[in-house]
A and B are shown apart, each in its own frame.
Chain A
Amino acid sequence: MDIEEVKRRAGPREFSPKDDLPEEYRKAATRMIQFHANSEIMGAYLERPFIREAPSLDRKLACSAKVQDEIGHGQLLYRAAESLGLKTRDEMLDELANGEGKFLNCFHYPMESWVETPMIAFFVDGAAMRRQATLKRTSWEPYAHAMDKVCFEEGFHVKHGEAILHELMTGSKKEQEMTQEAFEVWWPRIIQFFGPTNDKSTHHGFASEVGLKQMGNDELRTAFLNAYIPKAEKYGLEIPDEPRIRKNDDGTYEVVEEDLDWDEFFTIAKNDYDGSHQQINGRQKAQEAVDWVREVLDEHEAREFGSTQQQAAD
């Protein structure tokens, strides 16, 4: 199939591993899904310490279930990426550990306090779910299948995050203040989740032409703000003055881009931020610590099937 035919046919769940797809499509899809898979893993690592920090047994159970879900999402997505035939799971995990693998901006910042957990679980998961729901209609079928399952589980993350926010914002005055402070720190990052406006995003055009992306960043950001600004206000959070957000006559929101720190954003995009190093190194250490497990699995597979290919723990 040539790229023109891909563009002509690009509909929801149109292409599967059976199709003979051009390199260009495979590359774009691999880049996108690998980024998504990496983000699931890095998000899980960021939240993992809060299983321990959780203030009650219920929260502990929910946090540990969420972290488990996110790792599972990573696994499903690496499979969807692998099925494009360009990279193995092994290679993608190595790239993540050695700092080549890219992931979501929000997961490059350290998280220190429990009051920050709803910033991720409610706002970032909420933003992610907004995007993921549209990806059920992506043109790479294995990716869409993964999204079916991811979205099935994601509702719990967002609502649990919302429950934590509600609890904090109806808690002591101190808790409310700390939550507002955390919100002010995270708010610009959350808005940057959707990246700069379309015209600055280099990969966006192609990805939507071949049906990988189903909705543009601007549209997603607007949809997110429409749903989550009223939510934030309802729980008593004050929306920071900057970035300025203009409400249009048709009810949509527009963010003043100059008010956001794009230098920081693009430093993060290159994995060069302080937090990037910290998070990536943490992940690398975890990867090395369980090297022996992967080796045992590979050896076992080689014995079982008498093959030299070592893929079990790829």
Chain B
Amino acid sequence: MIWEVFRQENAGDYHEHCGNVHAPDREMALMFAEVQHARRKPTNSLWVAPKDEIGEVDTEDAKFGGTTDKSYRWAVTYDFEAAASEVEESTDEQAEADRRRKVQQEKQEAQGGD
């Protein structure tokens, strides 16, 4: 049986997929994951999940948003006065997400134009 392995480097980080192992049960999957994926790299925690239990949807089957103009739902659209600090923070996060989306979109367009 194949188990997918997710590694968290530091407490508070996300668990990121880092590979997979053969194992007959969860306990041994954790043990093999420890040996193969967390022996040298700094690790705070590991998750294992049976490969068959992982579902996926990707850009081929789904529209993940950001493809139509929905500027009305973004904080940056309403920039006219300084806001409270936690509101500014949220705005910055959204602006960063927006910038990344544009870069991604440009990349896809450039690939499509090949």
Given contacts A145-B19, A146-B19, A311-B1, contact A300 B39 (CB under 8 A): no
> What residues on A are CB-neighbors of B21 within 8 Å?
75, 79
Q: A143 to B17: give the CA distance in the assembly, Å.
A: 14
In the complex the two chains form, is A76's CB within 8 Å of B24's CB? no
Given contacts A18-B58, A79-B19, A146-B19, contact A312 B40 (CB under 8 A): no
> What residues on B are CB-neighbors of A305 within 8 Å?
1
Confirm or deny: B23 has a beta carbon within 8 angstroms of a beta carbon on chain A. yes
Chain A 265-314 interface residues, beta-carbon cutoff 8 Å to B:
297-298, 300-301, 304-305, 311-314
**Nearest Cβ on chain B to A57's Cβ, whole angstroms:** 20
Q: Quick one: CB contact mask for A117-149 with B, threshold 8 Å, 1 for yes?
A: 000000000000000000000000000011001
**Nearest Cβ on chain B to A109's Cβ, whole angstroms:** 29
Chain B 13-43 interface residues, beta-carbon cutoff 8 Å to A:
18-25, 28, 35-37, 39-41
> What residues on A are CB-neighbors of B58 within 8 Å?
18
In the complex the two chains form, is B24's CB within 8 Å of A312's CB? yes
* Closest B residue to A297 using CB positions: B24
> What residues on A are CB-neighbors of B24 within 8 Å?
297-298, 300-301, 304, 312-313
**Nearest Cβ on chain A to B38's Cβ, whole angstroms:** 11
**Nearest Cβ on chain A to B53's Cβ, whole angstroms:** 12
> What residues on A are CB-neighbors of B40 within 8 Å?
69, 152-153
> What residues on B are CB-neighbors of A69 within 8 Å?
40
> What residues on B are CB-neighbors of A311 within 8 Å?
1-2, 22
Chain A 33-81 interface residues, beta-carbon cutoff 8 Å to B:
68-69, 72, 75-76, 79
> What residues on A are CB-neighbors of B37 within 8 Å?
149
* Closest A residue to B50 using CB positions: A305
Q: A305 to B28: give the CA distance in the assembly, Å.
A: 14
> What residues on B are CB-neighbors of A68 within 8 Å?
39
Chain A at the B interface: SS class: helix
* Closest A residue to B114 using CB positions: A8
> What residues on B are CB-neighbors of A76 within 8 Å?
19, 36
Q: How large is the interface on B (under 10, 10 to 19, 20 to 34, 35 or more residues)?
A: 10 to 19
> What residues on A are CB-neighbors of B20 within 8 Å?
79
Q: A170 to B45: give the CA distance in the assembly, Å.
A: 44
* Closest B residue to A303 using CB positions: B24
Partner of B1, one of A149, A152, A301: A301
In the complex the two chains form, is B22's CB within 8 Å of A300's CB? no
> What residues on A are CB-neighbors of B39 within 8 Å?
68, 72
In the complex the two chains form, is A89's CB within 8 Å of B22's CB? yes
In the complex the two chains form, is B19's CB within 8 Å of A72's CB? no
In the complex the two chains form, is A301's CB within 8 Å of B25's CB? yes
**Nearest Cβ on chain A to B21's Cβ, whole angstroms:** 7
Chain A 177-221 interface residues, beta-carbon cutoff 8 Å to B:
none
Q: A96 to B80: give the CA distance in the assembly, Å.
A: 69
Q: A314 to B24: give the CA distance in the assembly, Å.
A: 10
Partner of B25, one of A146, A152, A300: A300
Given contacts A18-B58, A72-B35, A72-B39, contact A312 B23 (CB under 8 A): yes
> What residues on A are CB-neighbors of B2 within 8 Å?
311
Partner of B41, one of A146, A152, A298, A312: A152
**Nearest Cβ on chain B to A153's Cβ, whole angstroms:** 5
**Nearest Cβ on chain A to B3's Cβ, whole angstroms:** 10
The 10 closest A-B pairs by CB, nearest first: A301-B24, A312-B24, A300-B24, A297-B24, A304-B25, A153-B40, A72-B36, A311-B1, A75-B36, A314-B22
13 pairs from A and B in contact (CB 8 Å cutoff): A69-B40, A75-B36, A76-B36, A79-B19, A79-B21, A149-B18, A149-B19, A297-B28, A301-B1, A304-B24, A304-B25, A312-B23, A313-B24
Q: A79-B19, A152-B41, A311-B2 are in contact. List 10 more A-B contacts (CB 8 A).
A: A75-B21, A89-B22, A145-B19, A149-B18, A301-B24, A301-B25, A304-B25, A305-B1, A312-B24, A312-B28
